[in-house]
């Protein structure tokens, strides 16, 4: 998309053919579609990041639990 716009701008700067309304509308529509795709990707990534953070929280809790259990077991074993 950006390459298309840059190419067209270079053509205009060098005195190439003028932009007609249909071409301008097509560029605008393509740009809007690309923005919507990027926003959807961003939302998807944010959702995945939230899910990963939640998994990490559960993993940390499990590790802490196991460490506490091990420490309690070691403490009970030392008292014997």
> What are the tens digits of pLDDT across the range 30-74?
999 999 999 999 999 999 999 999 999 999 999 999 999 999 888
Is 70 within the bounds of a domain? yes
Is 32 within the bounds of a domain? yes
Say which residue, 21 or 63, is predicted with more confidence. Answer: 63
- B/e letters for 35-61, b = 16+ CB within 10 Å, e = fewer, are eeeeeeeeeeeeeeeeeeeeeeeeeee
Q: Which residue, chain included where needed, has tokens 């008292």?
A: 79
Is 46 within the bounds of a domain? yes
Is residue 9 scored above 90 in pLDDT? no
Q: What's the predicted TM-score (pTM) here?
A: 0.63
Say which residue, 25 or 75, is predicted with more confidence. Answer: 25
| Domain membership of residue 72 as a residue range | 20-79
Is 10 within the bounds of a domain? no
Is residue 80 scored above 70 in pLDDT? no
3-state secondary structure of 52: helix
Is 60 within the bounds of a domain? yes
Assign 3-state DSSP to the chain and report helix, strand, coil percentages, each to 5: 90, 0, 10
């Amino acid at each position: 998309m950006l390459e298309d716009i840059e190419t067209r701008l270079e053509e205009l700067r060098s005195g190439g053919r003028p932009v007609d309304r249909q071409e301008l509308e097509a560029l605008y529509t393509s740009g809007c579609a690309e923005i919507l795709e990027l926003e959807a990707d961003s939302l998807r990534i944010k959702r995945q990041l939230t899910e990963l953070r939640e998994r990490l929280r559960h993993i940390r809790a499990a590790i802490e639990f196991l460490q506490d259990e091990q420490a309690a077991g070691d403490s009970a074993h030392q008292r014997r």
